[in-house]
Amino acid sequence: MKFGKRLKQQIEESLPAWRDKFLSYKELKKLVRQISSAESCVEYGKADAEAEFVHLLNNEIDKFNVFFMEQEEDFIIRHKELQQRIKRVIETWGPNGTKPSEAEYKDEMAKIRKDIVNFHGEMVLLVNYSNINYTGLAKILKKYDKRTGGLLRLPFIQKVLQQPFFITDLVSKLVKECENIIDEVFPVEQEDEEEIVKEQREAITVAGKGIFRNTVAALLSMQEIRRGSSTYGHFSLPPMDLPDSDLIHSFQLNSPIPIV
Amino acid sequence: MPSSFLALTSFKDKYSTSPSSFQVSSGREVMENSVSLQESSLAPSNGTLGNSSLSPSIVTDHMCASALPHVQHSHNPAFISQSSRDLASLLPLDASFSQSTASLIHTQGNKDVSWSLDRLQMFLDFPENTPAPNQLVESSTSVLASEDHNKKTNWQEWADDLINVVDPDWSKILDNTNVLNPRVELPKPSGDISKQQPQFHQNQLVPHGEFSSHAYPSSTAPPTKPRMRWTPELHEAFLEAVNQLGGSERATPKGILKLMNVEGLTIYHVKSHLQKYRTARYMPETSEGTSEKRITSIEEMKSIDLKTSIGITEALRLQVEVQKQLHEQLEIQRNLQLRIEEQGRYLQMMFEKQKKVEDEKGGAPSSASDDLLAPLPGSKHPPCNNGKSDSEALEQDHSRTGIGPGNAGTNEDKSSSGVSTKQKMPETESTVHDESGFSVSKRARTEK
């Protein structure tokens, strides 16, 4: 149930529009339990139950695919638009633009920076979405095989590997491009160590916000899930190596105190 | 007031259970009915599907999208760095902090990026420089990536197999799904068309491993909303067409479709894409972050206050770092998952080959294999976990087919998941044997 709980947590923390797009892990688990307890030795009955299970899994996968590709399309568009926007700002209010204005430029750039960082985060969250659903599927299939003695897992998971929602290469590429843009447009200042440490402390408090919080939760969830389980086997992932784990743990703040 | 923000209160779990929208049909009868419905509905539609001719690669068509006009202007590096320094106005605060913070900062690296004209051009032109659509690196599954905007599915065939099977004949089903045929995918129940968006139904030539060319399907049986997978290149072509037609407001889906001239692209695709584009374009602030909409008013107030008092730059920088890390971990995890399954598949194949060899040898399978295996030298493979003699025999099967030493070596080099993959096979097989007995003929169905 550890995964189920983790999944639920992540769903809660995710963007509202996403919440019903995740794997219905609990329901599928119930079904597996149902099947394994109710099943007779009759071959027919078993095949039937399996067909039903597969049907539900396929529905889930369709759900993932549709949602994933929709988001991906959005990201492609927004990625391009961000670049255009940056260009426009530079061309207009930049020092060599048509109406150079340091104030406007700064202002706009600040907005862009926030947007682009959030955009980056959203894309990463989509990759996370893909991954956590895959993990859930792998787990539920393993459960199915274990409890019903079926051999559904291996062939089915091969299909899953080829599903659009699992093939996240494009989104990953966009993420990296976005990182490049961020590095280019917002170069990191070299500051002395003490200042940097202070800045970091302050920045921690901002972690309460939307996407950032979500990514922190996702990262920690991942670590938890891979911590090693009782059913650790050869198809299981090794424990995660997460540098700065302490830092990330410290991000787990509750919602910010309202300003009165 | 700032200090109040620093209160590192523990994270409380205030969740309410999120209602799942997943509706599980209760009872088998319902499922049976729907299954039989699907059976009947699948049959006719199966005939209409597929056998569309393979069309040549569409990629080339929209590669004629002209390159973005290069940004021609120079920058004063000093100006930029000045402004970013201004952005980062910080208030000193004291709070205890872990050492990992410092390491995090240092891992960011020293980005002494000089703001040169070259770099600016580079990042603006970045998407232009990306290679042709072949995104995927891994093996034969690259088909999906090379398909710019189509889904490869073999729904009907697979669904037929699965649903019509009473006594699961996995070998029959899986004939379509051997390693050489990576494009066969999960079925989509065509009965759910109204609810979901049907995928593009891929050409039935797929099973014969012809995945080099890009196959774009003709209009599928369900005419409503086939889903397409957009790519940046395709989007470029779209933009090109839109600009030629006078901008996003004036361009019509029909006109765009014609200009783009991409086979397999329907007006519906263009329409919905245009809609998305218009939204993104004319609401840049809100569309960039759908997150913005969901920030509560309280958080908004806080964020405004933070902007002025605390280093928003720093906050954003940190955010990017965390996000980068998450992404990195996800990529690692995904690769691991792929490798694990690949290995499992490979072992299964080896196992099947071994079985075939035994089959051909004929005679009583059990005794034959036992006899054959008895004099086997022990190879350095990890010991089998379960003590079933059957599985041990199978394990030695593996070593005999040459998986043993070489593989064991590589397995041990990899993570523990790799090593134990070999053990998994006998374990799984033993489960099967419990049910069906150790008979080679039956083992044909256990092809995983």
Tell me the pTM.
Answer: 0.54
Residue contact B322–A179, C-beta within 8 A: no
B362 versus B22: the higher-pLDDT residue is B362
Smallest CA–CA distance from B226 into chain A, residue: A66
Q: Best interface-test mutation with A: which of B146, B186, B417 has the largest number of A CBs within 10 A?
A: B186
- Dump pLDDT digits (tens) for B54-97: 344 443 444 444 443 443 444 444 443 444 444 334 334 343 43
Q: Which domain holds residue A210?
A: 2-187+194-224
What was the pLDDT predicted at B338?
A: 92
Q: Is A154 inside any structural domain? A: yes
Asked, for residue A23, whether it belongs to a domain, the answer is yes
Check if A107 contacts B (Cβ < 8 Å).
Answer: no
Q: How far apart are CA B158 and CA B219, in angstroms?
A: 20
Show me where the domains of chain B are located: 232-280, 298-355
Could you say which of A102, A114, A219 has the minimum Cβ distance to residue B83?
A: A102
Q: What is the pLDDT of residue A73?
A: 95
Q: Print the SS3 string covering chain B.
A: CHHHHCCCCCCCCCCCCCCCCCCCCCCHHHHHHHHHHHHHHHHHHHHHCCCCCCCCCCHHHHCCCCCCCCCCCCCCHHHHHHHHHHHCCCCCCCCCCCCHHHHHHHHHCCCCCCCCHHHHHHHHCHHHHCCCCCCCCCCHHHHHHHCCCCCCCCHHHHHHHHHHCCCCCHHHHHHCCCCCCCCCCCCCCHHHCCCCCCECCCCCCHHHCCCCCCCCCCCCCCCCCCECCCCHHHHHHHHHHHHHCCCCCCCCHHHHHHHHCCCCCCHHHHHHHHHHHHHHHHCHHHHHCHHHHHCCHHHHHHHHHHHHHCCHHHHHHHHHHHHHHHHHHHHHHHHHHHHHHHHHHHHHHHHHHHHHHHHHHCCCHHHHHHHHHCCCCCCCCCCCCCCCHHHHHHHHHHHHCCCHHHHHHHHHHCCHHHHHHHHHHHHHHHHHHHHHCCCHHHHHHHCC
For B9-19, how does the pLDDT look when each residue is reduced to its tens digit (9 = 90+)? Answer: 444 444 344 44
Query: Which of B399, B424, B47, B350 is CA-nearest to residue A145?
Result: B424
What is the overall mean pLDDT for chain B? 54
Does the beta-carbon distance from B151 to A54 stay under 8 Å? Answer: no
Q: How confident is the model at residue B243 (pLDDT cuts 50, 70, 90)?
A: very high
Comparing CA positions, the residue from A161, A153, A152, A155 lying closest to residue A133 is A161
CB-nearest partner of B144 from A48, A162, A201: A162
Across the range B269-297, mean pLDDT stands at 68
**Are the beta carbons of A113 and B126 separated by less than 8 Å?**
no
Whether B124 contacts B68, CB under 8 Å = yes
Residues of B in contact with A20 (CB under 8 A): 18-21
Which residues of chain B does A104 touch, with a Cβ-Cβ cutoff of 8 Å?
none
Whether A126 is covered by a domain: the verdict is: yes
Cα B269 from Cα A240, distance rounded (Å): 40
Tell me yes or no: is domain B232-280 CATH 1.10.3720.10: no
B31 to A51: CB separation less than 8 angstroms, yes or no: yes
- Chain position carrying tokens 């072992």: B347
Nearest CA in chain A to B286: A115
Residue type, A65: N
User: How far apart, in whole angstroms, are the C-alpha atoms of residue B407 and residue B379?
Assistant: 11
Highest-scoring range by mean pLDDT, A8-12, B175-179, B307-311: A8-12
ipTM of the complex: 0.81
Give the one of B88, B295, B317 whose C-beta lies nearest to A210's C-beta. B295
Q: What percent of chain B has pLDDT over 70?
A: 24
Q: Specify the pLDDT at position B291.
A: 44
**Residue B65 confidence (pLDDT):** 40
pLDDT-flagged residues of chain A (< 50): 253-260
Chain B residues in contact with A202 by the CB 8 A cut-off are 90-91, 93, 310-311, 314-315
Could you give the CA distance from residue A224 to residue B204 in angstroms, rounded to a whole number?
43
C-alpha distance from B193 to closest chain A C-alpha (Å): 11
Q: In the prediction, which pLDDT does B350 show?
A: 92
